[in-house]
Structure 1
Amino acid sequence: MVDRPKKPSALSATPGLAPQAQINISHSNSRVSAVLPTGESVEILLYGATIISWKDAQGNEKLWLSEKAKLDASKAVRGGIPLVFPVFGTAPDHEATSKLPQHGFARTSRWEFLGKSTSESSSSTDGGDSSVKLDFGLSTSNLDEASKKAWPHGFGLIYSVTLGREGLTTSIVVRNEGDTAWEFQTLMHTYFRINDIAAVSVSGLEQSSYIDKVTVPISTTTSPAGPVTITGKTDRVYTPAGGPGAPVVISEGGQNKFSIIRDNMNEVVVWNPWVDAKSMADFAPAEGYKNMICVEAGAVKGWQKLEAGETWEGSQVITTGN
């Protein structure tokens, strides 16, 4: 064999693209879904920008969705994460929002999908996407005539849903695009899926002031030192003593299932309809209240005021496990 000292060296292997998040727009352009390379997924209806599914890498669903939830844009969705704006509940004594339906119009309006952005994990061995952010927009031009008439203010909302390997972040930016000031409330109405409400407790609300909407008349009191447990119909608006940065933790059977940290969302609503669920036409199965608990980050005690051109932002970060 003849030695060839100048023979060409072997070409180095060309690296392939790192695994990327997969985005899909489906159901006649009415839903947006995202799946990370590691398997976590989220699905959002453009109707209400309502998150209807959030699964971990093993495919375990984290959100409760009623079996009778309307997903055809005919009614606000029962379950998932509906978005409340510009009023929480009804406010007959607040003139600016008194004509709006319960929880406002954001959850019953069609939003625009504005696109996605991703981030790569520096610690990931494959360099693939470790998160994906989906942005949705709603403005005056998206509203139906009835909503425009009931709330005639120039506004713009950007709602961002960020799916990560360890959790889910939802954030909202509210901008006054009109010429005069207006007030609003907002809330992320999260229905968490659990196995047995009797084994569930919520910590992080100890010794916190709360409004109990079940009592007649509605009362304001302070919670005891222990975690909150659910033993009947519950509808409370807490102002956690630890502030938004202190986690509110949902545990089941002594194990942490979800941890919620808030930014600029000073209140936490805890809701379970208990046996009243049986009288709700879109709540199924009838015993489903045993498998869900709503722990909802919001700004709903009083009103947020925006002058012309001003912007407000709030968010929640949900992580799973310990």
Structure 2
Amino acid sequence: MASKASSKKTPPTLTVSSPGLPPQPQVNITHGNSRISAVLPTGESVEIMLYGATILSWKDTAGNEKLWLSEGAKLDGSKAVRGGVPLVFPVFGTDASHTETSKLPQHGFARTTRWEFLGKSTSESSAVSSMDGGDNSVKLDFGLSHSNLSAEARAAWPYDFGLIYSVTLSRDGLATSIVVRNESEGESGKGFEFQTLMHTYLRVNDIADVSVEGLESSPYIDKVAVKTTTSPAEKLSITSKTDRVYTPAGGPSKPVVVSEAGKKKFSIVRDNLNEVVVWNPWKDGAEEIGDFTPKTGFKNMICVEAGAVKGWQKLEAGETWEGGQIINC
């Protein structure tokens, strides 16, 4: 008698899979370990040169460049970069009357010294945005101390200090901040004074169509006319060589807005950086600057620089100071 086939059915195997991680920012060390680049999952990008911790490029999700970089900029570490965002420390310009920094070159040594890359961190604004497009931002940290300086710079500024410079790329903009610490200790520790500034070259299509809002009715030093005065109660337009140090009447938290053809292009909010420098060399100035290329490039840039450059910041042994800016588009 033939046996009957079993009517029992084998239950299907149930496979449980874990959901994949959301996309992560990509951070790479390139150009022979001399540059750090970061790209968000949504396409925004930034590139920083370790020489000077200088930001060379900042692009939005469509690949549009937000910073102006001279075609003649030296990118081999032979001199400060013309364009992007060079970092000024510990003196703005030169000051022969200030004993501590009188022996330093123009704008100090931070923009002409190789920094250390300290690493990255990422953040999410919400679970929904994380699921939708991955991490919202990436922060890149860079460090500089007395030991990183050349023998010449150490002799000219013999103070024990530490700097941490952070560049944060997000979907909405770019933030930069600097922490300054006096690393000397005890009663024998030496205090020091400093100035700092983020020398931001913003890219525009035509300077003739640009206006700057947020500097109205504010005191400023005009370095071209060599005078101190107060700005009128109207937006600033650039029509000639401009080099001004403003102390905006609205304070650091009130945005300084750069518009082009009546449309907002950049909005800058500062933290503990009380001054804003506005600079454009115009035609004659561009001709005089060897690495400013093309010479017509003044039409496509405006420097709006957040800084602490009017007077001096003082740090005693063990003290720390911090300042920064956020640029939104």
- TM, length-normalised to structure 1: 0.96
Residues 1:227 and 2:227 aligned together: no
- In the alignment, the residues of structure 2 paired with residue 126 and residue 13 of structure 1 have an alpha-carbon distance, to the nearest angstrom, of 19
Per the TM alignment, residue 161 of structure 1 is displaced from its structure 2 partner at its CA by 0.2
Task: Show the counterpart of 1:96.
Answer: 100
Task: Show the counterpart of 1:119.
Answer: 123
Task: Show the counterpart of 1:280.
Answer: 289
Residues 1:291 and 2:315 aligned together: no
Identity %: 73
Letter in 2 for 1:233: K
Task: List aligned pairs for 1:1-322, cutoff 5 A.
Answer: 2=7, 4=9, 7-8=11-12, 10-122=14-126, 123-124=128-129, 125-126=131-132, 128-178=134-184, 179-215=189-225, 218-275=226-283, 276-320=285-329
8 Å contact from structure 1 (residues 168, 319) kept in 2: yes
1:79–1:2: structure 2 CA closer, same or farther, 3 Å change rule? Answer: farther
- In the alignment, the residues of structure 1 paired with residue 16 and residue 22 of structure 2 have an alpha-carbon distance, to the nearest angstrom, of 17
Kindly name which structure, 1 or 2, has the bigger radius of gyration based on alpha carbons: 2
Per the TM alignment, residue 82 of structure 1 is displaced from its structure 2 partner at its CA by 0.1
Letter in 2 for 1:25: I
Partner SS for 1:126: helix
1:3–1:262: structure 2 CA closer, same or farther, 3 Å change rule? Answer: farther
8 Å contact from structure 1 (residues 121, 127) kept in 2: no
- In the alignment, the residues of structure 2 paired with residue 289 and residue 13 of structure 1 have an alpha-carbon distance, to the nearest angstrom, of 57
1:165–1:100: structure 2 CA closer, same or farther, 3 Å change rule? Answer: same
Per the TM alignment, residue 25 of structure 1 is displaced from its structure 2 partner at its CA by 0.2
- In the alignment, the residues of structure 1 paired with residue 88 and residue 52 of structure 2 have an alpha-carbon distance, to the nearest angstrom, of 9
1:13–1:98: structure 2 CA closer, same or farther, 3 Å change rule? Answer: same
Per the TM alignment, residue 17 of structure 1 is displaced from its structure 2 partner at its CA by 1.9
The count of aligned residue pairs is 317
- In the alignment, the residues of structure 2 paired with residue 232 and residue 46 of structure 1 have an alpha-carbon distance, to the nearest angstrom, of 34
Partner SS for 1:53: strand
1:2–1:220: structure 2 CA closer, same or farther, 3 Å change rule? Answer: farther
Structure 2 runs not aligned, ≥5 long: 1-5
Partner SS for 2:306: strand
Partner SS for 2:325: strand
1:61–1:3: structure 2 CA closer, same or farther, 3 Å change rule? Answer: farther
- TM, length-normalised to structure 2: 0.94
Per the TM alignment, residue 2 of structure 1 is displaced from its structure 2 partner at its CA by 4.8
- In the alignment, the residues of structure 2 paired with residue 267 and residue 121 of structure 1 have an alpha-carbon distance, to the nearest angstrom, of 30
Letter in 1 for 2:212: V
- In the alignment, the residues of structure 1 paired with residue 7 and residue 307 of structure 2 have an alpha-carbon distance, to the nearest angstrom, of 78
Partner SS for 2:287: helix
- Superposed CA RMSD: 1.2
Letter in 2 for 1:299: A
Q: 4+ residue stretches of structure 1 with deviation over 3 A?
A: 1-4
Structure 1 runs not aligned, ≥5 long: none
- In the alignment, the residues of structure 2 paired with residue 8 and residue 86 of structure 1 have an alpha-carbon distance, to the nearest angstrom, of 70
